[in-house]
A and B are shown apart, each in its own frame.
Chain A
Amino acid sequence: MSITEETPEITGSGRSKALSWISPKKNFDSGEGMIAWIFHRLSGVILTFYLFMHLTFLSFLAFNEEIYENLITTTTEPFFLLFDIALVGVIIYHGLNGFRVVLGDLSNKFISLKSQKIQWYIVMVLTIIGVAIAAYFIFTIEIYVHTE
């Protein structure tokens, strides 16, 4: 399977087997494939946490608007907007890298590992550009809207 690059074979047993994928030295020695795989998992866990947090916020909108408005006032303060920018980065990375993995799965016989690495660098560059654009919009338009 082409996802060899995404799901490297980990030897060992039980807990150590699973925990070995978060060993920094081993992973950073293993190249871009392993880093891409770890970032994808970490970003996935962060986004899952955010999904439940988002639904909780909307629950307040449905059942207690006062709490919702207070939460919105707090979370649109400049400090919290930094988290918004980080969230955009996590979403763009997870989305684009996931799309890259799907492309690799569909056509591993035609896309070499070298090409997949280049694609990953493209994903990283696009993520950085996306974060920069998001930061511009969030700190110009959003703050303007909420402090108007």
Chain B
Amino acid sequence: MASEAVIERFKPKDSADGSLNWFLQRISGVMILPLLGIHLIIIHFLTENQASADETIKRFEDLWYVIFDFLLISSLTYHALNGIGTILYDFNPSKKNEVRIRYGLTILGVITVVWGVIILLVIQGKVD
């Protein structure tokens, strides 16, 4: 059965972390496709003077836009840094360095998302 083969594919095999990251990389990737598409349409087709500071701040009047941007930043950060991790692990680092890379990317990811949230809140605060 097709569905059984698909379910089998998502069962963790030899590495719980690796399987989870593999799975979440695909979930975040599929999430990003519509989120980024909507982001680009809003900015490039639904806004007139799209890049100006005033127009950008105006978009933040709508709280849904802030929530939407938060989802986009979170999924992009996870997807990007997990992807970079995959490339770095291909350099066959020692176990110790692999742990360093994992923690380093996790910390960078948390800082990036917090940084993103601060930016969103500060810009939202500029709305008249």
Contact = CB atoms under 8 A, between A and B. Distances in A.
Given A62-B123, A99-B33, A106-B6, A13 B44 contact: no
B87 A45 contact: yes
Interface stretch (A26-34, A64-72, A112-120): A64-72
Interface of B: 2, 5-6, 9, 26, 29-30, 32-33, 36, 44, 48-53, 56-57, 73, 76-77, 80-81, 83-84, 87, 90-92, 112, 115-116, 118-119, 122-123, 126
A76 B84 contact: no
A61 B112 CA distance: 17
A42 to B, nearest CB: 10
A47 to B, nearest CB: 7
Nearest 7 Cβ contacts at the A-B interface:
A18-B91, A62-B122, A48-B80, A44-B83, A72-B51, A18-B90, A62-B119
16 contacts: A13-B92, A15-B92, A17-B90, A18-B90, A18-B91, A19-B91, A45-B84, A48-B84, A52-B112, A58-B119, A59-B115, A61-B119, A61-B123, A95-B36, A109-B5, A137-B44
